[in-house]
Amino acid sequence: MNGSAPVGGDAVDDLLAGVRVEVHPLTTRDLTVLDGYRLHGRIGEGGQGSVYLGTDDARGLVAVKVLHANWVADPASRDRLAGEVAAARRVPALCTARLLDARLDGPTPYLVTEFVDGPSLQRQVRSNGPLAGDALDRLAVGTLTALITIHRAGLVHHDVKPGNVLLGPDGPRVVDFGIAAPTGTVSPGASSTDGVLATPAFMAPEQLDPAEVTPAADLFSWASTMTFAATGRSPFHAGDEAALLHRLEHEAPDLAGVPQHLRSLLRSCLIKDPQLRPSAQQALNRLLEDLQPAGPPATPVWGTPDSGATAPAPPPAAAGAPDRRPQAVRHRPPTAGRRGGRRRRHSSKRLLAVVAVVVAVRLASGADAGSTEQPRPAAPAAHQNAPAAP
């Protein structure tokens, strides 16, 4: 479905009829019009806002993310939406949903992005089971490419998870820059009450503490997301949240069921020490190398520039030839030095504090207590029972 054609009148019905993703009908609490956008149904629900399928006369189908009425009066929530807009502006649109418009100062703050007509990875796996074969490899390549563009923009996404990967008809898109932060800044950590939390099942262990924001966190979350894509579960799945957080910090990931060719790459991204993980570019290079079929390169059909003749194929690589992969990408088990000592000094007191904040924030935001998919925004100082309509 191409959402870029100008629309009006009956053309809107035609556009809506072609939409493939599930669209939930509006309720009486939903807006039907927001500035120049008509809203036709809900396509997503998050911790902070609802996402609507909208139409705009000039652009056709769009996605409109609206801050929940409960959070409109909360300056921190408005600031986060402003931060999401600023981050989305910095990232090339090729692997995300292009930011089209935003209005942050009105009674109903919102942002508008290109509509991606495909399910989230979360929905896809829940409805149809794990991905395998080329579809899984394509997802890995597309999402790593997205991370490269995000990191080159000087940002860390900080919330890479199955609900934030959309399986568009032309490839995967990484969306939702709600808690993205510039590289090198200090994140508040999960035990802070003033930050939106990433999702425990997919977050990196260093996100539990106030820490310098580095792209390595996204590689960890990417590997957890890929594990979910391949198996339908996080590599740190566990009974309750405390057990999950404990495994996240102290235990090896469970990669059973992940195809062999992805396993060591994912394991290297899931190293507890962020400094030992590969960069997104290194991970992509290694993945492409691992996906290359064994044997000599195929003879190019277009020939060589000078002779017009086809180039002779080079001899096959000798058995035992050196591994040409960049050293930093190879799996290195975490050493006892560096941050290992700090991890071991982890106190159960802090774990309890993190769990307490997670539970309190979950209760405050009304999130489903059994879900590990929703990020939990910190509660605003005062909830406002404002009607959804301006």
Ligand X SMILES: Nc1ncnc2c1ncn2[C@@H]1O[C@H](COP(=O)(O)OP(=O)(O)OP(=O)(O)O)[C@@H](O)[C@H]1O
Q: How many CB atoms lie within 10 A of CB 157?
A: 28
Under 8 Å between Cβ of 220 and 204: yes
Catalytic, 159? Answer: yes
Nearer to ligand X, 115 or 236 (CB): 115
Spatial separation of the C-alpha atoms in residues 52 and 64, rounded to whole Å: 5
Nearer to ligand X, 163 or 195 (CB): 163
Nearer to Mg ion, 124 or 164 (CB): 164
Minimum separation from the CB atom of position 116 to Mg ion (A): 13
**Cβ burial, residue 343 (10 Å; 0-12/13-18/19+):** middle
Under 8 Å between Cβ of 367 and 374: yes
Instruction: Give the active site residue among 56, 159, 218, 273.
Output: 159
Does residue 164 bind Mg ion (CB under 5 A)?
yes
Nearer to ligand X, 142 or 278 (CB): 142
Q: 240: Cβ–Cβ under 8 A, 6 or more apart, which residues?
A: none
Does residue 365 bind Mg ion (CB under 5 A)?
no
Q: Which does residue 274 bind out of ligand X, Mg ion, none, counting CB within 5 to 8 angstroms by kind?
A: none
Question: Residue numbers of the site for ligand X (CB under 6 A)?
Answer: 43-44, 46-49, 51, 63, 65, 97, 113-116, 120, 163-164, 166, 175-176, 178, 374-375
Closest by Cα among 18, 177, 6 to 95: 177
Minimum separation from the CB atom of position 4 to ligand X (A): 13
Nearer to ligand X, 137 or 373 (CB): 373
Minimum separation from the CB atom of position 317 to Mg ion (A): 43
Task: Please identify which residue in 176, 206, 249, 273 interacts with Mg ion, judged by CB under 5 A.
Answer: 176
Spatial separation of the C-alpha atoms in residues 156 and 219, rounded to whole Å: 10
Q: How far is CA 303 from CA 163, 208, 327, in A?
A: 45, 55, 34
* Nearest-CB residue for Mg ion: 176
Instruction: Tokens for 191, please give them.
Output: 């035990």
Which range in 54-62, 157-165, 234-242, 295-303 contacts Mg ion by CB under 5 A? 157-165
Q: Which does residue 196 bind out of Mg ion, ligand X, none, counting CB within 5 to 8 angstroms by kind?
A: none
Beta bridge partners of 315: none
Instruction: Tokens for 299, please give them.
Output: 């003879």
Minimum separation from the CB atom of position 263 to ligand X (A): 27
Under 8 Å between Cβ of 219 and 269: yes
The catalytic residues are: 159
Interface residues with Mg ion (CB under 5 A) are 46, 164, 176
